[in-house]
Amino acid sequence: MRKERVTMKYPKLLNKYDTIGVCAPSSGVQENLWGILDNAELNVKRLGYKIIETESIRRNIKCVSNDSEIRAKEFMRLYSDNDVKVILPPWGGEFLMDMLPYLDFEEIKGLKPKWIVGYSDITTLTFVLTVLCDIATIHGSNLMNMGFKEIHKYDLNVFDVIGKEESIQYNSEKCGGFTDTFDAYKLDKETEYKNLNNENMTFDGMIIGGCMDVLCKLIGTKYAPVNNFLEKYKDNGFIWTLESCEMNAGDIYRTLWQMKECGWFKYCNGIIIGRPDGYSDTKDFTIKDALEKIFYNIPVIYDADIGHVPPQLQLINGSYAKVEYDSNGKFSIHQKMDIK
């Protein structure tokens, strides 16, 4: 009996006037930041999209918007609503993982796929939906990143990336953080993509990845059958796109070592590591040391526009991508989807 070939499920392309659902599967938004949330939603509406919120979005107690079961119900309500084309959480948080047992993944597999967008703790959801349910997701901007006077062009890219079958993004010129008042990015540093050997490189494969701080907590659970996923799509090869928050060089090395020993980097054609937030060396051990010890035979680019240190690329878990990089730090990523 012939085994049916598994294919990645890509949500429908986003169109103007589509509806974007906002729920908080991890942290909600406390009252003193409602102004930023309101402005983010207004900015998105000005682009031509509709916005609907779930009930728990504007509360945050013990680091979550509500208890695990309620957060799961609110997410499923948006996911099963045919009018909602994208789910865009305000931001990540700490404990999204305790919502996973209340999600019906078999029901999700049977529904029309839709875009889930976010980074940080939202990885706990996007990564799981891709490797467990074969649904393409976005590691990219959270809604609160769009709450400034204007949406930054790199955050605007998310609407472009999920609005067409192919997209190309390039490295930024400036990077940085946030102003003290959290009302704009403070991009005051030169962006410098690096690699381990200061050489030109090109690689391609299926994108998969997210925030290492939470990815490592999924290892060994039923929510991350990564080796099965790798075997299904091995003919594409893989590009892992990873970032970290609150990890020092030793933490990063331990996490990458664990992922490698679990076979996660099998069939890997290349690695892209984002600028680490909250980072420090561990004595004389650096992030470069960690990357060299783990990926001595795989092309690696690091300090890329991924994750908590803005601006950031919009990366489609489950897309096929081609990466080009030269020794001067010029970078491009061409992502392609096969829309069914």
Predicted local confidence at residue 117, as pLDDT: 98
For the chain, the domains span: 19-166, 170-336
- Phi and psi (nearest 5°) for 195? -135, 175
Per-residue pLDDT of the chain (340 residues; tens, 9 = 90+): 334 456 899 999 999 999 999 999 999 999 999 999 999 999 999 999 999 999 999 999 999 999 999 999 999 999 999 999 999 999 999 999 999 999 999 999 999 999 999 999 999 999 999 999 999 999 999 999 999 988 999 999 999 999 999 999 999 999 998 876 666 789 999 999 999 987 899 999 999 999 999 999 999 999 999 999 999 999 999 999 999 999 999 999 999 999 999 999 999 999 999 999 999 999 999 999 999 999 989 999 999 999 999 999 999 999 999 999 998 889 999 999 975 4
* Reported pTM: 0.96
Structure tokens at 41: 């939603």
HEC string for the chain: CCCCCCCCECCCCCCCCCEEEECCCCCCCCHHHHHHHHHHHHHHHHCCCEEEECCCCCCCECCECCCHHHHHHHHHHHHCCCCEEEECCCCCCCCHHHHHHHCCHHHHHHCCCCEEEECHHHHHHHHHHHHHHCECEEECCCHHHHCCCCCCHHHHHHHHHCCCCEEEEECCCEEEEECCCCCCEEEEEECCCEECCCCCEEEEEEEEEEEHHHHHHHCCCCCCCHHHHHHHCHHHCEEEEEECECCCHHHHHHHHHHHHHCCCCCCEEEEEEECCECCCCECCECHHHHHHHHCCCCCEEEEECCCCCCCCCCEEECCEEEEEECCCCCEEEEEECCCC
Q: Is the Cβ–Cβ distance between 252 and 278 less than 8 Å?
A: no
Distance in angstroms (rounded) separating the CA atoms of residues 224 and 222: 6
Record the tokens describing residue 45, joined without a space: 């509406």
- pLDDT attached to residue 182: 61
Residue 184 pLDDT = 73
Is 19-166 a CATH 3.40.50.10740 domain?
yes
Residue 262 burial (CB count, 10 A):
15
Bridge partners (DSSP) of residue 19 are 50, 84
pLDDT of residue 1: 35
State residue 178's pLDDT score. 81
Same topology between domain 19-166 and domain 170-336: no
Q: Which CATH architecture has domain 170-336?
A: 3-Layer(bba) Sandwich (3.50)
